[in-house]
A and B are shown apart, each in its own frame.
Chain A
């Protein structure tokens, strides 16, 4: 597909030979507009790892509080405690929401929220215990590295000790949120109070060492450079080399609406950029088994196309996702299982329903 004179020809040869790409390769890929060639390379890797399987999960999102001390510039969800529209769910409310899913055959609860100073470790420990009892067998993927670090600081505990206590109470896995872009320059602009990239990685390393599998994200399409994107990906790859604990990588397209960054004149991402990020993530993260295109962030149409650009996972039949929607995501808030299956099959791929850990729940649709 690539002519020999193309700047990507050497990279294509590396991919074909299963050789690892370096930072310079990553930058060249992002600079290139040869979208189809990049897609073809990514698809080659995707098929080596996962064939034609496309994973999805039946899950439920709960955002238990929107009160947050960080007030990141990039976020439309967090509120100061005295702001109107704040809420904090009681443990009874959370348990009730979980129980309402008992008949839905979900395999995961995905629970994240703001950094609420009134919520201590005890709140979360009891939350895990109650959820474990309410929905035995359902995987609990909860609390980002940001939330773990906050609890550690609040209680003067190590990351490991916080994680071990939560794990004992029922926590199975960490979601990938809070990574944004690791670059200190970027974080100063978009999330100045949030933990830094090294800390995020340290929390995930601690989780991996406890045998917990976790996810990783990257928020793109704001003020980051392509070099900063590549740096982010390579730092994730390095940790995966050491621990092997990451399950999937999830690029998240930034939605500037209703955030403090709207005043910077930022616009949403284009389809080209979305597909390039997904495809290049597949190419650089050669030690990640799964690349997820979170359809709520890019829309079902683009998510479907992304299956040919390195993606093997579309996330789930989300119910009640607040964070992207408060930032103006105009996508629907849920897709039925049959809609997801149709989306995948009509693109020529094989739907596989999974749990959080990529165990097969159902296939052969």
Chain B
């Protein structure tokens, strides 16, 4: 049996998360096929064919798939997927939107956010916002999985020479349509993809003071995050929230400024490689997870740090 990976792409190019999914698939037994479903997406399929480890690319090129609406693509994947042992997508918003719909159509469960593969049917995944790791054995014939991209390295994007096979099946459920999108134009990286994150908490005092962090973030090429306390206090919008009810991040460097370190926040960032805490309260729980802690007033320390970089 083979493994089907649902490629994430914008019709022109493959998104990086797909490469992490390919690496996850190499830890299972079976040939790796990549499905590129989109509209005018030949370019993305060509890129997919070049990924090392992929043996076949299935190209479903039709206007019905242009925006990869779950209603349409799930019907396609459920039809193709019946012949596969595993169906995998990265656990991005695209994968999370599509895959449970596919699983229900195939009458199997989905395993979300898999961070490690133990065997063809046994997987580790975080539960309770990463406060516990569950090892789960799937009893279903077809394993539908989304993988946590930070748990697997990216596959090499060139050197492969997969064949491209055209899939003729067109599924248009006709119950949903794409209206438009507004992509954030920030020069800063996205929170969940950033290598460095600078986050502020209630200690920032107000929203204007976040400018201190933005300046620091720009020097580091970092994204700016916030704790739930800062969001609840109205300092910043809640799409910046890092934590159990916000975004879960694992950057190389996480700088927590004026954040006490409540468990709901730690749940969202404790897998970061290096954690720095700047807080004037030396008893703050954030220091128990920080690799480097600086007990200081952030209004002195942050501008000084900014100046020294």
| Chains A and B belong together in one complex | no
B interface vs A, CB < 8 Å? none
